[in-house]
Amino acid sequence: MKEKIFIEGGKKLSGSIPIAGAKNSCLTLMPLSLLSDQALSLNNVPLLSDVHTMKELLESLGCEASFHNLKKTIKIKLLREGLFLADYNIVKKMRASILVLGPLLTRFGQGIVALPGGCAIGARPVDMHLMALEALGARFSIDKGYVKGMVAGSLKGCKIKFPFVSVGATANTIMAAVLAKGTTELVNAAREPEIIDLCKCLKSMGCEIEGEGENTIIIEGVTNLRETTHEVVMDRIELGTYIIAAAISDGEIKLTGGNIALLEAFINKLHEVGVEVTQASDHLRVKRLKSNVINCTNIVTEPFPGFPTDLQAQMMALLSIANGVSNIEEKIFENRFMHVPELIRMGANIKIDGRKAIISGVDQLKGAPVQATDLRASVSMVLAGLVANGNTVIDKIHHIDRGYENIIEKLTACGAVIKRL
Ligand code: UD1
């Protein structure tokens, strides 16, 4: 894959973009194939490198996976039992690999997963995953960079209170609890739409779960799961990113499959800054209320239903051309301002004070060579490049391919001048 993206800024986007299935949901659903010897079929699978990495990981754990590019489906079936090791060479590419730990422990009583380590956006430990799985009866040791989990007998349901909200720890614990003996109660669970999607799929496999989407989730363990086919929920982060693409370029876009309900806090902020987002039956329409006007605002990232951290960098690109001064406080990750120095290279006026960024809007961004640092940071540079005066070249764009399906094609179809170099 070519490593650079070139953008000639200043084109108003106009047209239609289809929204793909959610990366984060798909990566959480795929490990469910380890829970039984019945096939798991997923529809609306996004075409992303992370999905291929998860496929590779599941294959290394004994699954057979057939992926259909055109139909966007994947069928996964566990064929060979007795493989419990998630290798560092795969885990280092994608932190979501830790999501196989819960299923391995609950189904086979053992699982060995390379510790994911930190990443550009922060330390991102997995202590809460381990705490919750330990409460269910697993025992862990750390050896040569791997976490080794063992279960004597089977996992047993119990009450687990998370000290703060973690999407991954909630998902891992739910996947373990569905085959544990008795009742598990998760308090302070993540409420993200991707957790609801996970529970929907598990229920169609025969699991007993209540309260998904709320603070407390109750799971009654079962012994047998059945084959299922599940439609991956829409990618609300991809949707939010293209909403900003329309807004930043002062264009008008139709987003097919878009659903406002999964992004309320974000949409409210867009209304505040002067962007109109209207819902029709099967699509959203986005345009500025007044051409040339983006207002400033203040944002704090929070777990769902708050403003998503995964849209923080994109929103900062938009606010960098707003009238006045905006503040963004990043409360989920401690180091998620990697895009700031790059946006400054493009003429943005942004200061960082701890976990806060103070963005003084400028009249015009200017194209520049910049570097992608992580997935959402990279796409914020694409957005800035769309409105910048002149040409922008973004290096190290493999990050974008992890999370944005056909981004070049989707933006080109709306009139952007963007290509891989
Ligand atoms: C998921 C999403 C990611 C999103 C994030 C927050 C996937 C594949 N990724 O990541 O796109 O940005 O939710 O919405 O779904 N933490 C701990 N200990 C733990 C687990 C987490 O301290 O055991 C911390 C993290 O470092 C972070 C915070 O908790 O500061 C929230 O992280 P978490 O919700 O777990 O994020 P992920 O599940 O990794």
- The tally of domains found in the chain comes to 2
Assign 60 to helix, strand or coil. helix
Domain-terminating residue out of 207, 231, 255: 231
CB atoms within 10 A of CB 292: 9
Are 110 and 154 within one domain? yes
CA 80 to chain centre: 30
How, if at all, do strands 283-288 and 252-256 pair? antiparallel
Q: Please give the distance, rounded to the nearest whole angstrom, from the Cα atom of residue 340 to the centre of ligand 1.
A: 21
Helix/strand/coil (H/E/C) assignment for every residue in 193-243: HHHHHHHHHHHHCCCEEECCCCCEEEEECCCCCCCEEEECCECHHHHHHHH
pLDDT by position in tens, the chain (length 421): 568 999 999 999 999 999 999 999 999 999 999 999 999 999 999 999 999 999 999 999 999 999 999 999 999 999 999 999 999 999 999 999 999 999 999 999 999 999 886 667 667 789 999 999 999 999 999 999 999 999 999 999 999 999 999 999 999 999 999 999 999 999 999 999 999 999 999 999 999 999 999 999 999 999 999 999 999 999 999 999 999 999 999 999 999 998 899 999 999 999 999 999 999 988 999 999 999 899 999 999 999 999 999 999 999 999 999 999 999 999 999 889 999 999 999 999 999 999 999 999 999 999 999 998 889 999 999 999 999 999 999 998 888 988 999 999 999 999 999 999 9
Residues 44-75 as b/e (b if ≥16 CB within 10 A, e otherwise) read: bbbbbbbbbbbbbbbbebbbebebeeeebbbb
Are 292 and 147 within one domain? no
Are 118 and 256 within one domain? no
The reply to whether ligand 1 has any atom less than 6 angstroms from the CB of 167 is yes
Q: pTM score > 0.85 for this model?
A: yes
Question: 247, 255, 289: which is closest to 19 by C-alpha?
Answer: 255
Query: CATH number, domain at 355?
Result: 3.65.10.10
Q: Give catalytic status of residue 119 as yes or no.
A: yes
Identify the domain containing residue 360 by its residue range.
5-20+234-420
pLDDT at 172: 98
How far apart (Å, rounded) are the C-alpha atoms in residues 118 and 29? Answer: 23
Q: Please give the distance, rounded to the nearest whole angstrom, from the Cα atom of residue 190 to the centre of ligand 1.
A: 10
Q: Please give the distance, rounded to the nearest whole angstrom, from the Cα atom of residue 167 to the centre of ligand 1.
A: 6
Domain-terminating residue out of 200, 231, 262: 231
Q: Please give the distance, rounded to the nearest whole angstrom, from the Cα atom of residue 217 to the centre of ligand 1.
A: 18
Identity of residue 135 = A
Backbone φ, ψ for residue 379 (5° rounding): -75, -25
pLDDT at 80: 94
The reply to whether ligand 1 has any atom less than 6 angstroms from the CB of 126 is yes
pLDDT at 296: 98
pLDDT at 3: 86
Question: Among the options 119, 158, 201, 207, which is catalytic?
Answer: 119
Domain-terminating residue out of 199, 231, 263: 231
| Rounded-to-10 torsion of CA 295, 298, 302, 307 | -10
The reply to whether ligand 1 has any atom less than 6 angstroms from the CB of 166 is yes
308 CA: nearest ligand 1 atom:
14
